[in-house]
Amino acid sequence: MRHLFLKLVVSTALLVGAKVGLAAGLMSPVNGGAELELTEQQVEVVIQNGFTVTEVTQVFSNPHARDLEALYRFPVPHRASVGEFTYWIDEQPVHAEVFKKQEARDRYAKEVSNGRESALVEKEEYKHFDMRVSPVRANESVKVRLVYLQEASIDHGMGRYAYPLEEAELDANTESFWTRNESVQAKFSFRLHLRSAYPVDAIRVPYGQASVQQLDSGEWQVSIASVAGHGAQMGQNLSDTDLAQREALETAANGNDTLTYEQSPGRSTNVNNQAAFQLNKDLIVYWRLAENLPGAMDLVTYKEAGAADGTFMLTLTPGIDLAPITEGRDWIFVLDSSGSMAGDYATLVAGVEQSLAALNANDRYAVVTFSNSTRMMTNRFEQATANNVSDTVRKLKQHGTGGGTDLYKGLEKGLRLIDRDRTTSILLVTDGVANVGTTEAKSFLELLNKVDLRVFTAVMGNSANKPLLSAITHHTSGFAMNVSTVDDVNGLMLQMLSKATHEALHDVSIRIDGVAVSELSPHEFSRVYRGEQLNVLGKYSGSGLAQVTLKAKVSGEKKTYQAKAAFPPEDTAHPELERLWAYSTIEALKAVQDLVGESEDSQNQITDIALDAGIVTDYTSLLVLRDDVFESTGIARNNATRVERERMAREVRAQQAIQPTRQDTQQPMFNAPRHSTSNGGGSLGWFLLALLAALSCVRVTLEVRERRQAKHAPSTETRVDSGNA
């Protein structure tokens, strides 16, 4: 059983990697004739103190003799709060204000009809954000900037950042009207600045065109750039002697473009370039904290001088000994065999075959496929004998793909198999949206209320219905894993393996005494798996030293962990916490909607929070008008004020040294080190050694290979050397 999840994730990632879909990009009417160009895109990312700020600046160009409208569509990033949108009018930046969705549309349409500058950002459920700009004047360009926030959690000592660019095919109505330009014509740049209060010993980038530089023990920078006609020279490379000594390792490499970069401060690598950067792959960055860091409690706060209330983010990283699970269990594979899986199905079957072969002798398995209908591929539960596995795999190979995605029927079929005398888990693998039969989240959750089991989900691609799949896993106290086509699968495998094969904390509660706190989000945790963090956002009044108490059960035994945290009377360093708290609270309200259905009251609650915090939701949008229009219509510039406050705070933080956020240094909350991919012992030990050796070979091999190519290339070509991962 210990390799089951590892091999399932291998198959899932391979399956994802084989998919070909559309990418984010500028959209133009199919029969419109005149098309705009995306001439520049700059992405700036800062990860610090538990959250991420992503800033995207774009320039749209109109080479034609008439004014046009620009529409840029991109996938919704995971748990992203969009609250800042800026449009340069007459070369001056104008910040957007948040409106109810229909009001924003009406105002935008009025400005467009009057020929005045305006811009609009909308969200379409979980699918995508649409950014409209009008007009792009004839033979001129426009500049816009969008900023979104995300929590930046650590799992097993590893962090992951994804800038999403891949998106599935357009629906029929959209595809009949729009075409998509997936490239930046002149300039693309991506820079990620990691500022960690804990030492970081490695960066991993599943992308060949990257420069990685370590600035300090916890400070790293990742850069990707493409400028037409210019080479980017950054830093130094391995010496010829180093390469010659390591050249023998080349035969051990597996050809993967995922590299590991571990270096001393100040050193960096070269960057490759191309004339037009294709926006057809997600950009993924991993970082790994130093080994054997203690479990810890961290606190980040924001409170204006003289304000009655402040906002805080409390992060608990448990250091708790969680034992491996050895009892026999039942595993139900629920596999998507709809038409969208065509071309990938053989890879999925191969992965399932390996997974079944890895089951323990005490485990049983069942396999259900679903599309428009469901089909049992086993005789209820089977023991994982060689003959049974061979027979199941033969049936899966003969089954094939086709039809829509009736996820509800697939889950329902799997649930009927449960033996209530045995511990059961469902492994759900799907790449699409539930588009046949029952599709409401409420119906799925009502179905799952009838049973006691965990659902573990591989969420494949940016267009998958992540809210639905996340709701399913959360409701069953399972977990969901997001998978991109360019993900670092090795790290995800280690994390998932450790979660599935070890005990978890359950019946978790957090109490804060000594300082008045309120509106906690989330307000409860049903289960916390090995390697996970607990992030809590909330409001506080007053100030002083508070007692933080974490209570949980491990295998039925009650556990209590305590430490002190200082809530300051004033702290203006992190105004973004207000938006993060608002987004988390809105997500909790949406989860209630999943259970009881959408109501006017719930819509109004979400709308009011979003209007106050300046957040784009299903009910609210960001709108830019000319300054004189804002003034003449009497629209308050509340969001513009918030944006400037947040930007100033970021500038101040960038100039300061990295500040520690740990609160329990004097009285540690946990006695053991935090969990990482290398301190699990047992089955993880041998795998980690093999993984590190393989990654080392990949890193060195690409250095050798690219250096060889540079030596034999014509002198007019730009030399490319990579030593990062």
Pair (354, 282) in one structural domain: no
Domain containing 378 equals 330-500
* Co-location of 240 and 339 in the same domain: no
Q: Has residue 258 got a pLDDT over 50? A: no
What sign results for the dihedral spanned by CA atoms 632, 634, 639, 641? positive
Sign of the dihedral defined by the CA atoms of residues 644, 650, 654, 658, in that order = positive
On whether residue 339 sits in a domain, the answer given is yes
The strand pairing partners of 48, in sequence order, are 51, 195
Domain count, the chain: 2
Claim to verify: residue 349 and residue 443 sit in the same structural domain: yes
Lowest-confidence pick of 291-305, 506-520, 672-686: 672-686
Which amino acid is it at 554? V
Is residue 125 classed exposed, middle or buried when 0-12, 13-18 and 19+ CB atoms within 10 A define those classes? exposed
Angle, vertex CA 566, rays to CA 563 and CA 572, nearest 5: 145
Together in a domain, 419 and 273: no
List, for residues 532-544, the tens digit of each pLDDT value: 899 999 999 999 9
Using one digit for the tens of pLDDT, what is the confidence trace for 213-233?
Answer: 999 999 999 998 875 434 332
Question: Which stretches within 276-344 are classed as H helix?
Answer: none
Closest CA to 263 of 283, 292, 234, 284: 234
Dump pLDDT digits (tens) for 627-679: 999 999 999 999 999 999 999 999 999 999 999 999 999 999 999 999 886 65
How many CB atoms are located within 10 Å of the residue 449 CB? 11
Domain boundary among 467, 500, 533: 500
Percentages of the chain per state (helix, strand, coil), in multiples of 5: 30, 35, 35
| Bigger pLDDT: 102 vs 484 | 102
Residue 109 pLDDT > 50, yes or no?
A: yes
Whether 286 and 349 map to the same domain: the answer is: no
3-state secondary structure 348-382: HHHHHHHHHHCCCCCCEEEEEEECCCEEECCCCCE
Does residue 349 sit in the same domain as residue 397? yes
108 burial type by CB count under 10 A (0-12 exposed, 13-18 middle, 19+ buried): buried
Peptide bond just before 569 cis, omega within 30 deg: no
Q: How far apart are CA 591 and CA 589, in angstroms?
A: 5
Q: Which of 388, 366, 385, 386 is nearest to 377 (CA)?
A: 366
397-411: per-residue pLDDT in tens?
A: 999 888 888 989 999
Q: Each residue of 58-88: pLDDT tens digit? A: 999 999 999 999 998 888 888 899 999 999 9
Residues 503, 322 contacting (CB under 8 angstroms): yes
From CA 349, how far away is CA 342, in angstroms rounded? 12
Q: Which whole-number Å values give the CA distances from 185 to 226, 271, 276, in the listed order?
A: 10, 18, 5
For residue 522, whether the previous peptide bond is cis, meaning omega lies within 30 degrees of 0, is yes
Task: Give the residue-averaged pLDDT of 300-318.
Answer: 96
Distance between CA 436 and CA 321 in Å, rounded?
A: 44
User: Does 167 reside within a domain?
Assistant: yes
What are φ and ψ of residue 398, in 5° steps? -80, -20
Asked whether residue 251 falls in the same domain as residue 344, the answer is no
Last residue of a domain, one of 445, 476, 500: 500
Q: What is the value of pTM for the model shown?
A: 0.81
Q: Is the pLDDT of residue 366 over 80?
A: yes
Is there a domain that residue 452 lies in? yes
Q: Mark whether 202 and 263 lie in a shared domain.
A: yes
Single-letter amino acid code for the residue at 86: T
Q: Is residue 707 part of a domain?
A: yes
Give the CA angle between residues 406, 407, 412 to the nearest 5°: 105
Are residues 202 and 248 located together in one domain of the fold?
Answer: yes
Judged against a pLDDT cut of 50, whether residue 11 lies above it is answered with no
Residue 421 lies in a domain: yes
Task: Decide if pLDDT at 716 tops 70.
Answer: no
Residues 255 and 343 in one domain: no
Over the range 353-379, which residues count as b (16 or more CB within 10 Å of their CB) and which as e? bbbbebbeeebbbbbbbbbeebbebbe
CA angle, 464 then 466 then 468, to 5°: 110
Least confident of 108-122, 374-388, 671-685: 671-685
Q: Would you state the pLDDT for residue 439?
A: 80
Note the pLDDT of residue 470: 78
Q: What is the distance, to the nearest Å, from the Cα of residue 105 to the centroid of all Cα atoms in its chain? A: 29
Decide if 123 is inside a domain.
no
Phi, psi for 645 (deg, rounded to 5): -65, -45
Beta partners for residue 150, in sequence order: 52
3-state secondary structure 331-351: EEEEEECCHHHCCCHHHHHHH
Burial class (CB in 10 A: 0-12, 13-18, 19+), 717: exposed
> Are β-strands 505-513 and 544-554 bridged in parallel, bridged antiparallel, or unpaired?
antiparallel
Average pLDDT of span 349-361: 74
Instruction: Round the CA-based radius of gyration of the chain to a whole number and report it.
Output: 26
Residue 177 tokens read as: 């009207």
207 lies in the same domain as 286:
yes
Q: Within this chain, do residues 235 and 285 fall inside the same structural domain, yes or no? A: yes
Q: What is the pLDDT of residue 149?
A: 97
CATH of the domain at 410: 3.40.50.410
Asked, for residue 28, whether it belongs to a domain, the answer is no
Give the lowest-confidence range in 40-44, 420-424, 581-585.
Answer: 420-424
Domain-terminating residue out of 477, 500, 523: 500
pLDDT at residue 268, as a whole number: 41
Would 633 be classed as within a structural domain? Answer: no
In angstroms, how far apart are the furthest CA atoms of the chain?
78
